Amino acid sequence: MDLINSADLDDDKLHEECGVFGVWNVADAAAITALGLHALQHRGQEATGIVTHDGLRFHAHKGLGLVGDNYSDAKVMAGLQGARAIGHNRYATTGATLLRNVQPLFAEFAFGGFAVGHNGNLTNAYTLKRALTRRGCLFQSTTDSEVFVHLIAISLYATVIDRLIDALKQVEGAYSLVALTDHMLIGCRDPLGVRPLILGRTIGADGVDPGWVLASETCALDMVGAEFVRDVEPGEIVAIDSTGVRSYKPFAVQKSRFCVFEYIYFARPDSVMEGTSVYTARKLIGTELAKESPTDADIVVPVPDSGVPAAMGYAEASGLPFELGIIRNHYVGRTFIEPTDQIRHLGVRLKHSANRAIIEGRRVILVDDSIVRGTTSSKIVEMVRAAGAREVHMRISSPPTTHSCFYGIDTPERSKLLAAHNDVAAMAKLIGVDSLAFISIDGLYRALGRRGREEGAPAFCDACFTGDYPIPLSDTQGDDSRQLSLLSELN
Amino acid sequence: MDLINSADLDDDKLHEECGVFGVWNVADAAAITALGLHALQHRGQEATGIVTHDGLRFHAHKGLGLVGDNYSDAKVMAGLQGARAIGHNRYATTGATLLRNVQPLFAEFAFGGFAVGHNGNLTNAYTLKRALTRRGCLFQSTTDSEVFVHLIAISLYATVIDRLIDALKQVEGAYSLVALTDHMLIGCRDPLGVRPLILGRTIGADGVDPGWVLASETCALDMVGAEFVRDVEPGEIVAIDSTGVRSYKPFAVQKSRFCVFEYIYFARPDSVMEGTSVYTARKLIGTELAKESPTDADIVVPVPDSGVPAAMGYAEASGLPFELGIIRNHYVGRTFIEPTDQIRHLGVRLKHSANRAIIEGRRVILVDDSIVRGTTSSKIVEMVRAAGAREVHMRISSPPTTHSCFYGIDTPERSKLLAAHNDVAAMAKLIGVDSLAFISIDGLYRALGRRGREEGAPAFCDACFTGDYPIPLSDTQGDDSRQLSLLSELN
Amino acid sequence: MDLINSADLDDDKLHEECGVFGVWNVADAAAITALGLHALQHRGQEATGIVTHDGLRFHAHKGLGLVGDNYSDAKVMAGLQGARAIGHNRYATTGATLLRNVQPLFAEFAFGGFAVGHNGNLTNAYTLKRALTRRGCLFQSTTDSEVFVHLIAISLYATVIDRLIDALKQVEGAYSLVALTDHMLIGCRDPLGVRPLILGRTIGADGVDPGWVLASETCALDMVGAEFVRDVEPGEIVAIDSTGVRSYKPFAVQKSRFCVFEYIYFARPDSVMEGTSVYTARKLIGTELAKESPTDADIVVPVPDSGVPAAMGYAEASGLPFELGIIRNHYVGRTFIEPTDQIRHLGVRLKHSANRAIIEGRRVILVDDSIVRGTTSSKIVEMVRAAGAREVHMRISSPPTTHSCFYGIDTPERSKLLAAHNDVAAMAKLIGVDSLAFISIDGLYRALGRRGREEGAPAFCDACFTGDYPIPLSDTQGDDSRQLSLLSELN
Amino acid sequence: MDLINSADLDDDKLHEECGVFGVWNVADAAAITALGLHALQHRGQEATGIVTHDGLRFHAHKGLGLVGDNYSDAKVMAGLQGARAIGHNRYATTGATLLRNVQPLFAEFAFGGFAVGHNGNLTNAYTLKRALTRRGCLFQSTTDSEVFVHLIAISLYATVIDRLIDALKQVEGAYSLVALTDHMLIGCRDPLGVRPLILGRTIGADGVDPGWVLASETCALDMVGAEFVRDVEPGEIVAIDSTGVRSYKPFAVQKSRFCVFEYIYFARPDSVMEGTSVYTARKLIGTELAKESPTDADIVVPVPDSGVPAAMGYAEASGLPFELGIIRNHYVGRTFIEPTDQIRHLGVRLKHSANRAIIEGRRVILVDDSIVRGTTSSKIVEMVRAAGAREVHMRISSPPTTHSCFYGIDTPERSKLLAAHNDVAAMAKLIGVDSLAFISIDGLYRALGRRGREEGAPAFCDACFTGDYPIPLSDTQGDDSRQLSLLSELN
């Protein structure tokens, strides 16, 4: 009887790798940051960190696990003094989540301290790391994010902003950063704006100057009672201090390529991204999907929780009843027993259960947001059939996922992506459904208010569906083995 | 900055106190029991225990926390040998959850070992405990359930079944029990059948004789791939051994009084209780509620997760759109920072967030299953208004909760029940809604397929709504202080 | 590579199973009790517990591990309120040290609470337990000490003292008890006074009445600044309350049989037992040993720490230099790696190291207090030879240990006692020494101020050397398997 | 009631800050290193680390606490593969022992990995760190030892040895290093040889080539069954690989200044340093002390454990009986309750107890190795007087400690050293003794085989007694605050 990590239970999703948050001139900055990170918990559950500044010194706490569990210790919170803070949630992509890999990273430069949290992924990190090591730089983590820190440290420019720009010009990849120095809070997004970052405003700690907030999503502003100001723009650096918000745009203007998967699955439904409600977008995708791929059936059933809005849109457009035919169990702990062979045929139903009274004897349309490896889909279909469904039709609110992401999303290597090697008919057979349909790429763009995907100038990064990678993959297609340390550290 | 237990976050619900599960002649009995308890996790999250029997000896594990976290240790599972097992989930109602209070309880009688798990509550436990102590019995826990064990131990009858009947005849209260002796698996329900218990059947460990399952709900049968046989009847004892299932009915037949709140909130929506789908029942209650208390509005929004089916029924019956206007965050850990005064005005939104894009400018009907203290309701209403709702109307899919439960449900004392001291108009004002309505008690019965509540012979226990307690409350109205130990144990 | 428990490292000693302590009318009773238990730590290191009484309620803490580690938590100490307390240190003799086996045991009788700590062992516990279980008593621990509690609970006498006497008259074995009721502190010793218990006096919490202390050894009085009053007498019960100390002697007077091994090894050297300094006794045993078994050598080397005083006496009497030729490492943690086969030939030297500069080329007399299995002795001899000793002579300050103890000392079963099956010449060969001698039983008595052992009326219990067991062994020679629970509890 | 760390209990000693160990070509290198570190546990108990190399990769484990507790986990040991290893014990001198400060430090250079453990202290670390930070180097720990790593990383030389020499020429201070690269094991000592390092030899893993061992003390060779080869010489680098041991001496030869306190207190008594047995040295110092400062008394009593050999020498030379009048309790855990005011007058006797039977009515000479703050001495004297001593004379086997150490020993700042501000008469009064005497500095040198201290060319570093610092204190007298990080890290 082996153990399986609950993250793997019935879970065949891509995962956002990180969420970032920062505040300037806010009372109880650490508590506010903890609340903000709590709202961003869906962007990373493995580890979390906060660095604060009290006007004189930095204070830090890093820990494994959930936000709530880390910042519920009164002693920890009492140590995180100051009205300025940045925080980070991490979804670990490598086996062990070493504490020294937990962000924000902190470094002491000749001119003072510097803390930074990074959402995204650099595509030339290995190349840069090799060059920096040759120069005598010593890396303390195995994260790509540390490259930023060394590039800033060795820059020949004088000011932090100039050094940061110097560093950004050398890196390739996707990044939304929050950083804290002795004198300012900084936010920036990569030139294509692949990952989100927004600016908010709240009551200042002193009651006079405004307080400022940076966050990956607007839901974090709602959590802390801050008001939305605007998205940080692609390629923009915002520097916040007591004089207000300054903006730097060191890059040539390009057409932005925001990650379309944020709408499909990553972002929280109550967030608004680039002016569009994520929840509404998902319902519209469901509506579009119903138009493209209708079928004769009795009920529309979402795969909870992420498939719910699309299923609602689908049901509404198709005129079929929307029913909660699958129940999700939210009490799954961090690990669980793996059924032995004898009981493996039960299927893994630890997170999902079929609602037999609803399913039995019905023709069911299952709506889910994506199929990655296909492992969960086939289990769910099997479970729904075992509960007596007469027919099972699956509708997916994203195009087939055919390519890996190298811009900050945890994707299996391409060989494991079901859609990379199977057409829709083959997939339907493997998953065991009576019919299967994905929304088309143009349908997806239409649901998001475009007229379709414009070849050459698409509005989004959709590399995982199209293979059209807008940022070079210098580290030879992101071969992970290249970034491993020589050291196998045991704790 | 203090800590608040996450169980208190936004949570103004009654809670089922326990779930029970048992198997006979099943391969990997401990693993199957762990899976069954996982399916029953909603009936108790504070502690869990399993006792197995391998034909010669008993083995036990008890622990605090979730099922998944307790039975993921290979060494623990390897120690729980045998093809027979019972298990228990506990929702602790008193401050500390001492390990010695965790069930199943185990005792060594002169004729062998006896393990028992109890869902329910005895209403003459204090009285019995005092008498037993005078007789020289020593109690090892502070649970009412231990009374069963002593009564069986001192019974003058010879067989376990006769001793159990002897004990049952002395206790008052609600109970569904599973028990394991050296030679059989036992299940029983109190004469009114207040709490549920069902019997299922599966493949036997030996491939010849059948395997048997007892569980609080059918969802646990689905989890382990067992087939539903029947409800254990009110007042029935089932004794299972290699010869099959024997049934004992030592009590005079009475009209049963199954707990109506199981339909409203406690049970899992995919369970079937006394032949009725819980999910369907909830939708029908919503339908009935829409008929009784319609209102002019733009959208119907459930308070997730428990309000969802009733809201669906309400929306369907009223013709209004059903929208996910409130998002629930499932990543809340066990504790969380309490906001300081400065940020307390933010409201506690750790578990719920308003979906501003949906709410803003709309007239909203919020559907929830119950109002207990009213604390969460007013916070949610405040949050929905802050998100820009034009009007907020609240509809509750249960009658007003005016009385405490003494039959195994964790209820606040009566003085804290909002409906005990306020009429609906006063409650509407306190909660801050434009209108408030509860389903009527007759409407509730109608939704459950009756013609209404028959005075004198109602089909359910509805004491929390009516004050009509079907079982005597001998321990002076269940005064909890009477049952406290003289010992304040620190761990 | 396996683990070995550090308790087994180089450790071939008998172990005292428990230490007890109690106070009445003492400020900070819990802290004073923790200090007293710390002084008695050598009598049990596996677990510890304290029960206090604050005039109204009892408070308890039990934990595994050392006294210091358990009572260093301010919250724990703050919970242990009151001016009355008893405490217990436990050396677990069975595999797992379950928390429910940790003492003091606590029970609620009809007339109030009762906490008890026990040093010793009952020799008819299994017999009594069987009878009690038949009567309907439920045991919550697997300790023999719980028998006391049930006997008191079911006694037909009215007062606690009468019930206690009733219980004591039914048990056989060795016991020094401390107990706390709502109204008094009680201490008692078995009729033969096998285990020690002393009474002390200190400043009372109220500054008016005296404060009283009960403890296993006088070193605990020194630790808490109390003054020695007298030994509790064999067969005596002392009952302490605000009226002072009352004494009960319910047993016919017998000649006492105090455990002689307390002088040889168990007690702390700075304790005084029955008027004799333990340290001085050990030196005198060494002196007597030198007279009985002199040899030609260069240096006298103690096996530290317990062999030191006897070695000093031996060296003085023989005129040979006393040298620290073996160094003891006190930093051994709770577990340690077991050397693999490849490095096993190094010998286990984790606790002892030879001081090569002193040993090399010398004829060495090693002085130790006892040989139990002989395993450590042979390793130490091998180590001393490897360090270059020319000759190794071993002198033991106790007679050969030929029999197991059933009165509260952890002894291997008889078949594992080296001296049970080998004469001195054979033992010398097995251990690898050039000569070996034990003190004679008469020499031991002489060193303790007697004229020798008087057959029929010896002054001490010396059963481990003579097989003369002064208390019956009703449970068939203490067969441990008889006392096991039917339940294998995993935590 | 506050907590006090047990390290502070009765402990008024200087502490060695580190112990180092390394092996090359040894089977089970990690286990052997764990055993070696166990033998060196007295040189650091706060944290420990091991880095191994298996021919291809490095493996590391670091942890807080004792060696035994860290390397008793079979999974940890299984991960530490290879026949080459270095290890380190750390005595933390700053408040928190952050895991990232635990050694060996590891870095990835352009040419491969490099692990290093350091015993000693650099006196220009802050100066160098500032310069390196200006250059863009990022420090990951707050240890002075990391300076070595950066200096090697940025060196312009090609080979590891040349880079190491380049680094050593820039640092000032005391250091004994062990280092492990992909291709060799390295050991080196500072030019004055302040801290010890020895070379040993054992059976090779392959049975053909020899295995090599580096260690702080010979007792670690005894533990692992290796034979002593020689001391690594002051200023020498030894590089060990499959071709054998190469020696580099890059510094001009100077007269060595080995730390004299290693003989007095730090080293284990069974170690041999520079050809002299530590145990014998201590006895000779006691002998010399008796000659210099005799007094009329009844018994000589050591303050255990460290005062024992000197007391034996003193007793022998003075003809007075040597008695264990103070007992040491070795069961003190990591923390303990601090007595409240009410019981503070008891004195802290958690580690030491007076043996009243021996002390009472006697004139006592107490022998201890040093007086630092004097806090423990006065408590012990008070305890001895409370036990009834008629007179108390104290003799100290070191000269007065008047200056702080900056070469790797944890000393209080000078203002807290009792002897820095008081003459012997004043100290005697403060401590409460009838007479007090320290060995003279010339007496100390005589006991160690010299004719006395030769001004200008003393054989030892004795700065703590004389203020004669042989290595410059560039970082402004070792002001610790200079080395603090800007970051206050909470875990």
Judge whether B486 lies within some domain. Answer: no
pLDDT band at D384 (very low <50, low <70, confident <90, very high): very high
pLDDT, tens digit (0-9, with 9 covering 90-100), for C104-137: 999 999 889 999 999 999 999 989 999 999 999 9
Residue A336 sits at the chain D interface (C-beta within 8 Å): no
Residue B32 phi, psi (nearest 5): -60, -40
Structural domain contains residue C262: no
User: Which chain C residue's Cα is nearest to D3?
Assistant: C72
Residues in chain C predicted with pLDDT less than 50, given as ranges, are: 1-10, 94-95, 342, 478, 480-484, 491
Mean pLDDT of B370-385: 92
**For A427-440, how does the pLDDT look when each residue is reduced to its tens digit (9 = 90+)?**
999 999 999 999 99
User: B171-221: per-residue pLDDT in tens?
Assistant: 999 999 999 999 999 999 999 999 999 999 999 998 889 999 999 999 999
- Per residue in D118-157, pLDDT (tens digit) is 999 999 998 999 999 999 999 988 888 999 999 999 999 9
Tell me how close the Cα of D49 comes to any Cα of chain A, in angstroms: 11
Q: How many CA atoms lie within 13 A of A486 on its CB side?
A: 24
Residue-level pLDDT at B8: 45
Q: What is the pLDDT of residue C12?
A: 76
Higher pLDDT, B407 or B6: B407
Residue A486 is predicted with a pLDDT of 64
Quick: pLDDT tens for D429-471: 999 999 999 999 999 999 999 999 998 889 999 999 999 999 9
| Gap from A284 CA to chain D (nearest CA, Å) | 46
Q: Is the minimum CB–CB distance between A65 and chain B shorter than 8 Å?
A: yes
Number of domains in chain B: 2
pLDDT at site B338: 54
Same domain, C118 and C27: yes
The lowest-confidence range among B25-34, B299-308, C339-348, D225-234 is: C339-348
Q: Which residues in chain C touch residue D268, judged by CB atoms under 8 angstroms apart?
A: 327, 353
Q: Are residue B187 and residue B292 in the same domain, yes or no?
A: no
Angle, helix D146-154 to helix D160-168, in steps of 10 degrees: 120
Q: How far apart are CA A276 and CA A279, in angstroms?
A: 9
Concerning whether D18 is annotated as a catalytic residue, the answer is yes
C133 and C223 inside one domain: yes
Residues B379-390 have pLDDT tens digits of 899 999 999 999
Give one word for A136, left, alpha or beta, with left for phi > 0 and alpha for psi -120 to 50. left
CATH code, domain with D238: 3.60.20.10
Q: In chain A, which residues have their Cβ closer than 8 Å to the Cβ of B225?
A: 343, 345-346
> Does residue C247 share a domain with residue C312?
no
- CATH number of the domain that A360 lies in? 3.40.50.2020
Structural domain contains residue A250: yes
Task: Report C:25-54 residues touching D (Cβ under 8 A).
Answer: 27-28, 31-32, 34-35, 38-39, 41-42, 45
CB contact under 8 A, C331 and D31: no
Q: Is the pLDDT of residue A93 over 70?
A: no
Classify residue A199: in a domain, yes or no: yes
Q: Are B41 and B266 in contact (CB under 8 A)?
A: no
Chains that touch A (3 or more CB pairs under 8 A): B, D
Asked whether residue A23 falls in the same domain as residue A104, the answer is yes
A291 in the same domain as A198: no
User: Are B159 and B93 members of one domain?
Assistant: yes
User: How many Å apart are CA A214 and CA B297, to the nearest integer?
Assistant: 36
- The answer on A164 and A103 residing in a single domain is yes
ipTM: 0.91
B1 pLDDT above the threshold of 60: no
The predicted pLDDT at position A344 comes to 52
- The minimal CB distance from C353 to the residues D27, D222, D356 is found for D222
Distance CA C211, CA C241 (A): 10
**C-beta of residue C315 within 8 angstroms of C-beta of residue C301:** no
Distance CA B405, CA B338 (A): 30
CA-based torsion, B134, B140, B146, B151: positive or negative: negative
- Chain A residue closest in CA terms to D59: A488
Least confident of A253-262, B23-32, B407-416, C3-12: C3-12
Pick A485's closest partner by Cβ from D108, D149, D487: D108
Per-residue confidence (pLDDT) for residue B457, from 0 to 100: 87
- Whether residue B190 is found in the same domain as residue B96: yes
Whether pLDDT at B339 is above 80: no
* Boundaries of domain holding A364: 276-460
Asked if residue C483 belongs to a domain, the reply is no
Q: Does B385 lie at the interface with C, CB-CB under 8 angstroms?
A: no
The three state secondary structure string of D222-287 is HHHCCEEEEECCCCCEEEEECCEEEEECCCCCCCCCEECHHHHHHCCCCCEECCEEHHHHHHHHHH
Contacts of D334 in chain C (CB under 8 A): 68-69, 72
What is the residue whose two structure tokens read 């000649």? C255
Mutate to test the interface with C, among B138, B150, B483 (most CBs of C within 10 A): B138
CA distance A131 to chain B (A): 40
Within a domain: B480: no
Cα-Cα-Cα-Cα dihedral of C279, C281, C286, C291, to 10°?
A: 150
CB–CB of B68 and A336 under 8 A? yes
Read off the tokens for C311: 């070695």
Residue A361 has pLDDT above 90, yes or no: yes
Residue D130 lies in a domain: yes
CB spacing of C138 vs B138 below 8 angstroms: yes
Distance from CA of D106 to the nearest CA of C (A): 25
Using CB atoms, which residue from A140, A154, A486 is nearest to D113? A486
With CB atoms and an 8 Å threshold, state whether C486 touches B108: yes
Regarding whether D224 and D290 lie in a shared domain, the answer is: no
Verify whether the Cβ–Cβ distance B31 to A340 is below 8 Å.
Answer: yes
The single-letter DSSP state of residue C25 is S
Mean pLDDT across A438-450: 97
Residue B46 clears pLDDT 90, i.e. is over it: no
In a domain, C460, yes or no: no
Last residue of a domain, one of B257, B289, B318: B257
SS3 of residue A482 by DSSP:
helix
Same domain, D322 and D372: yes
Exposed/middle/buried for D481, CB within 10 Å: 0-12, 13-18, 19+? exposed
CA–CA dist A219, A270 (Å, integer): 6
Q: Is the pLDDT of residue A143 over 50?
A: yes
Compute the distance between CA of residue C118 and CA of residue C18 in angstroms, rounded to an integer: 7
The answer to whether D317 and C231 have CB atoms below 8 angstroms apart is no
Q: Do D487 and A58 touch (CB under 8 A)?
A: yes
What percentage of chain A exceeds 70 in pLDDT? Answer: 90
User: Which of C39, C353, C355 is facing D223, going by the closest CB pair?
Assistant: C353
What local confidence, expressed as pLDDT, does residue A69 receive?
A: 84
- Which residues in chain B are contacts of C482 at CB distance < 8 A? none
Between A39-48, B413-422, D346-355, the lowest mean confidence (pLDDT) is in D346-355
Q: Is residue C115 domain-shared with residue C175, that is, in the same domain? A: yes
**DSSP characters for C219-274?**
HHHHHHTPEEEEEPPTT-EEEEETTEEEEE--S------EETHIIIIIS-TT-EET
Q: Is B60–C136 a contact, with Cβ atoms under 8 angstroms apart?
A: no
pLDDT at A484 over 50: no
